[in-house]
Amino acid sequence: MGDEGSRRDTRRLRIWLLTAAMAAVGALAIAFAGTFDPIPGRPLDAPWWAIAVGFAVAELLVIHLHVRSDAHSISLSEIPFAFGLALGSPLALVVGRLVGSGAILVVHRRQQPTKLAFNVALMALETGTGILVFRSVLGSFSPVEPLGWVALFLGLSATLTMGVGAVTVALALNDRTRGIWEVARSMGAGVFIGTVTSLMAIVAVTVVWSEPWGAVPVTVIGGLAAIAVRVYRSLSERYEDLEAVYAFGHAIENAASPDDRIGSALHHVRDLMRADVAELAVGETACRVVVGEPGVALLDDPGAVPHPGRVPRGLLRVRAEDLRHFGRPVDQAVVVPVPTTDGEDGCLVVAAPLTTSRGYDADDVRLLEILARQLGQTLEHERLVARLRDELASREHRATHDALTGLPNRQWFVDAVQDLLAADERFAVALVDLDRFREVNDTLGHQHGDQLIAEVADRIGAALLDGEVVARFGSDEFGLVLRPEDGVVGALDRARSVREALSAPFESEGFTFEVLASIGIALAPEDGSEPQTLVRRADVAMHEAKRVGSGYEVYDSQRDRYSTRRLVVAGELRTAIVEGLVEVHYQPKLAVSDLRVVGVEALARWTHDRLGPVRPDEFVAVAEQTGLIAPLTELVLRTALEDLAKLHADGHDFGMAVNVAARSLSDPGLPTLVAAIVEDTGVDPRLLTLEVTETMVMNESPRTSAVLSALDEIGVRLSIDDFGTGYSSLAYLTRLPVDEVKIDRAFVGNMAVEHRHGKIVRSTTDMAHALDLEVVAEGVENRATLELLRAARADVAQGYYFARPMPRDALVEWLADGGATGLG
């Protein structure tokens, strides 16, 4: 620190020495210049105060053009200078210049003493040399004949050269080599601009010399030119801002880790704002990047960081006490809030010295605000992802036990079975699956479902004998180790007593319901010497028990070959598709604001004559594995769009959403198929939304991206289904042609009770809106959830609260009855 301080003192001393030298040379030049008489034959005599006014106006009209890292100023001071040279006495020009420009530096720019002294000395030097060069070349010629023009031009060029030279030397003395590089780079543009303004000045002098009233058209033309440049400037700046913001977003996206992301964002902010320091403070933490230092520093004392609550936002002059905070010589700062939706707002600060930079203005505040908004989204996203990761981690932490029932999980169970097998024990593995659990869950909600599962776990536990264990495998599936006295008969006996324990009605908050269980049994060691085999065979037996309605079955190797459910499904799905036995039901999607129907989702339905209704996730998975997905997708798409066309004919004007399986998304034939069906049915492609799951697009391959963009070209909308389950980034998804996100029902259904889920829905909605995506919430089961979605400003809702999926005729009737508008 002390080292840094003394270096700064040396620098300051050097600048003062340079200033003194310039002042001395300038005074000498002025003394010489004062010996020249006014030019004979002038049509009028410009007094010092008029020249001063000219310089003040020119100084105020300075136009800054900055192209990313190059700054150019167009100053019109060549014009008063040329008038002063031609029409004023040398003394009037010197006084006019110092008073006019000086006043602006003091009053308007409020320059500090060091800088002011430097600039005044520079003005003296420029003016003195300008006059000397001009008068030596001019000799006894008139300024308005060709040789006079040359003299004027050289005089003006001399002042420009002095200016550039002095600034370069000052930067070198200040150890700011970066600045010199910039001056050198902008030299070309400087020469160009200087030449143009000098020539304009010469023309203006010539006109006024021959006819003083010529000043009027000359001023008008100058004014119009200035306006044109300003318009150009604001347009090009807007474009540059856009470009900068784009590059900024890109850099954040491409950073390897969250920490890198914040760091690279700050480095970008610092460069874009041409600042020395950029700082981000959120809550109690703050980090900073400083020019010339790689990496990001964490601030030791975040309490000292300016905070939106403590410091006014916008442009600030840096005061002595703030200097301590920044730890470096800066003159001004811009502070803007970083908005996030979860309340923990932060602030973004940049600070810079006034040496080379022209000073911040309202445009810079605006740019920083845009950057802060982007940064806010990034932060929020990081936090959301971190939250989800925490959740995953804690789930892994609870790896061996299930939180709801406190029972061990499948892995634990497999290990236990392994131990028994290794010990050559005889035992049975049983799998218990509730028959109508999904129905309970769907009708009464997850809360009742959860209570039911906990109660089932208790009852099974109570029915077990010494040495028997129970584990929870999945939502409504339990694995048991039973210790029957003797083989098959004993095992069936144990299964019956477990089933009986579950047969008494369940009660939950005033509801009474019966849930039956199906139990499948495999005997060890007869039916397998591996835990996995035993579990799989118990599963086969369990499905058999369901199929025949017996309630419990022991595995039978004879039957296994034909009767696994999967085989049945796979075998008959083909026929069902060909014969059109797969139906399509529709579930309405409603505008959250007024519950007007904005679309329906097509959901495939298949009722098998022996198995009963087969759930679509089950047969879709089978279709994907057996090459039946293309005909299934075609069937659903065609049926859905034909039905939509009929609905349109009946005066309904909503859209249709169709689910697309992962397999289809890598099928190059899909876009052709969609285009053909859209064409055949005459439906506007924009009314068709294809729902693809988040995980599908995350595993994006060149093939799926080709399919996605081909679909986009057809004009159909794309929706990201089950959003929130896949840990992907919304920002990443928007690189794909996506129009909508559908927040997974696991988050939505629980919003009203799970505070955390509500937060996730809200922040996802805000982020999606910022990215111009429509937000659909699925799985809305009650009014409370609808109200929360309203508050979260989600766009569209779908769920059992409004309507279940139904056949087309039922949908038509439902629409005729007024739909969901009565539900509030």
Q: Using CB under 6 A as the criterion, which residues of the chain lie in contact with ligand C2E when the complex forms?
A: 442, 587, 603-604, 615-617, 620, 636, 659-661, 691, 721-722, 745, 749, 778-781, 799-800, 805
- Shortest reach from residue 601's CB to Ca ion, in Å: 6
| Among positions 722, 740, 774, 781, the unique one binding Ca ion when judged by CB under 5 A | 722
Helix axes 78-87, 113-138, angle to 10 degrees: 50
The smaller minimum CB distance to ligand C2E, of residues 437 and 555, is found at 437
Q: Which partner from the list ligand C2E, Ca ion, none does 783 bind, CB cut-off 5 to 8 Å by kind?
A: none
Least separation, in Å, of the C-beta of 814 and ligand C2E? 14
Pair of tokens at residue 226: 């200035």
Structure tokens at 692: 């693809």
Give me the torsion for CA of 396, 398, 404, 405, rounded to 10°: 130
Per-residue x/- track, 366-395, Ca ion (CB under 5 A)? ------------------------------
Query: Is 689 a binder of Ca ion (CB under 5 A)?
Result: no
Residue of 373, 375, 378, 324 whose CA lies nearest to 351: 324
State in angstroms the smallest separation of the CB of 779 from Ca ion: 8
User: Rounded to the nearest whole angstrom, what is the least distance from the CB of residue 617 to ligand C2E in the complex?
Assistant: 4
Say how far apart CA 656 and CA 665 lie, in whole Å.
18
Indicate the SS3 state at residue 76.
coil
Rounded least distance, CB 437 to ligand C2E, Å: 12
Dihedral angle at the C-alpha atoms of 787, 788, 790, 796, nearest 10 degrees? -100
CB nearer to ligand C2E: pick between 100 and 588: 588
Work out what residue 766 binds among ligand C2E, Ca ion, none; the CB cut-off runs from 5 to 8 Å by kind. none
Min dist. Cβ of residue 823 to ligand C2E (A):
13
- Assigned token pair, 201: 């000045």
Taking the least distance from each CB to ligand C2E, the nearer of 617 and 809 is 617
- Tokens 């996995």 locate to 532
Instruction: Report in angstroms the alpha-carbon separations of 190 from 61, 134, 155, 184, 722.
Output: 17, 21, 16, 10, 58
The distance of closest approach from Cβ of residue 746 to ligand C2E in the complex, given in angstroms and rounded to an integer, is 9
Residue of 544, 721, 766, 774 that binds Ca ion (CB under 5 A): 721
Q: Which does 799 bind (CB under 5 to 8 A by kind): ligand C2E, Ca ion, none?
A: ligand C2E
Which of 154, 160, 19, 159 minimizes the C-alpha distance to 94? 159
**Closest distance to ligand C2E from the beta carbon of 446 (Å):** 8
**Quick one: which segment of 331-339, 568-576, 607-615, 691-699 binds Ca ion (CB under 5 A)?**
691-699
CB of 620 to ligand C2E, least distance (A): 4
What count of other Cβ atoms lies within 10 Å of the Cβ of residue 725?
16
How many angstroms separate the CA atoms of 215 and 219, rounded? Answer: 6
Q: Which stretch binds Ca ion (CB under 5 A): 223-231, 480-488, 653-661, 706-714?
A: 653-661
DSSP 8-state secondary structure symbol assigned to residue 606: E
Nearer of residues 236 and 699 to ligand C2E, judged by Cβ: 699
Asked if the bond preceding 616 is cis, omega within 30° of 0, the reply is: no
Tokens of 744: 């997974």
- Least distance CB 252 / Ca ion (angstroms): 29
Residue 777, φ and ψ in degrees, nearest 5: -110, 125
The listed partner (Ca ion, ligand C2E, none) that binds 617, CB under 5 to 8 Å by sort, is: ligand C2E
List helix spans (H) across 654-701: 662-665, 669-681, 694-698
Euclidean distance between CA atoms 469 and 474, whole angstroms: 16
**659 in contact with Ca ion (CB under 5 A):** yes
- Spatial separation of the C-alpha atoms in residues 301 and 299, rounded to whole Å: 6
In 527-640, at which residue ranges do the beta strands (DSSP E only) sit? 552-554, 583-591, 597-608, 612-614
By a kind-dependent CB cut-off of 5 to 8 A, residue 779 interacts, out of ligand C2E, Ca ion, none, with ligand C2E
- Residue 661 interacts with which of Ca ion, ligand C2E, none, CB < 5 to 8 Å by class: ligand C2E
User: Which of 80, 749 has the CB closer to ligand C2E?
Assistant: 749
> What tokens appear for 493 in the block?
């006996």
- Contact call for residue 159 and Ca ion (CB under 5 A): no
Q: How many CB atoms lie within 10 A of CB 9?
A: 9
Tokens for 103? 């006043």
Query: Could you tell which of ligand C2E, Ca ion, none binds residue 620, using a CB distance below 5 to 8 A set by kind?
Result: ligand C2E
Compute the least distance from the CB of residue 722 to ligand C2E, in Å. 6
**For ligand C2E, the closer CB: 202 or 665:** 665
Closer Cβ to ligand C2E, 535 or 718, answer by number: 718
Alpha-carbon span 499 to 769, nearest angstrom: 51
Q: In terms of CB distance, is 66 or 745 closer to Ca ion?
A: 745
The alpha carbon dihedral of 608, 614, 620, 623 has a sign of negative
**Could you tell which of ligand C2E, Ca ion, none binds residue 130, using a CB distance below 5 to 8 A set by kind?**
none
Taking the mean position of all CA atoms in its chain, how far away is CA 736?
13
Nearest distance from C-beta of residue 267 to Ca ion, angstroms: 39
CB nearer ligand C2E, residue 108 or residue 703? 703
Residue 604 contacts which entry, Ca ion, ligand C2E, none (Cβ below 5-8 A, type-dependent)? ligand C2E
Nearest Cα to 194, choosing from 51, 85, 81, 74?
74
Give the CB-nearest residue to ligand C2E: 799
Cβ proximity to ligand C2E, 497 vs 699, nearer residue:
699
> Shortest distance, CB of residue 587 to ligand C2E, whole angstroms?
6
Q: What CA–CA distance (Å, rounded) separates 477 from 437?
A: 10
639 binds, among Ca ion, ligand C2E, none (CB under 5 to 8 A by kind): none
- Smallest separation (angstroms) from Ca ion to the CB of 633: 13
Which residue has its beta carbon closest to Ca ion? 691
**Binder of residue 587, out of Ca ion, ligand C2E, none (CB less than 5 to 8 A by kind):** ligand C2E
Nearer to ligand C2E, 289 or 690 (CB): 690
Backbone angles phi, psi at 819, to 5 degrees: 60, -135
Please state, in angstroms and rounded to a whole number, the distance separating the CA atoms of residues 39 and 83: 12
Q: Considering CB under 5 A, how many residues would be counted as binding Ca ion?
A: 4
Cβ at position 305, least distance to ligand C2E in Å: 45
Residue closer to Ca ion, measured from CB, 542 or 690: 690
Q: Which residue has the tokens 């911040």?
A: 360
In terms of CB distance, is 413 or 723 closer to Ca ion? 723
Is 691 a binding residue for Ca ion by CB under 5 A? The answer is yes
Give the number of C-alpha atoms closer than 13 A to the C-alpha of residue 369, restricted to the C-beta side: 10
Q: Give 108's DSSP letter.
A: I
Long-range contacts of 640-643 (CB under 8 A, 24+ apart): 640/584, 640/586, 640/602, 641/677, 641/678, 641/680, 641/681, 641/683, 641/688, 642/681, 643/584, 643/586, 643/808
- Please report which helix (H) or strand (E) contains residue 658, including its range: strand 655-659
State which residue, 316 or 600, has the beta carbon closest to ligand C2E.
600
Residue with the two structure tokens 């009464």: 444
Compare residues 705 and 782 and give the one whose CB is closer to ligand C2E.
782
Task: Name which of 470 and 647 has its Cβ closer to ligand C2E.
Answer: 647
Asked if residue 694 binds Ca ion (CB under 5 A), the reply is no
367 binds, among ligand C2E, Ca ion, none (CB under 5 to 8 A by kind): none
How far apart are CB 798 and Ca ion at their closest, in Å? 9
User: What are the start-end ranges of the E strands in 143-188?
Assistant: none
- CA 289, CA 264: separation in Å to the nearest integer? 9
> Minimal distance in Å, beta carbon 605 to ligand C2E?
7
For the chain, helix, strand, coil in percent to 5 are 60, 15, 25
Residue ranges in contact with Ca ion by CB under 5 A = 659, 691, 721-722
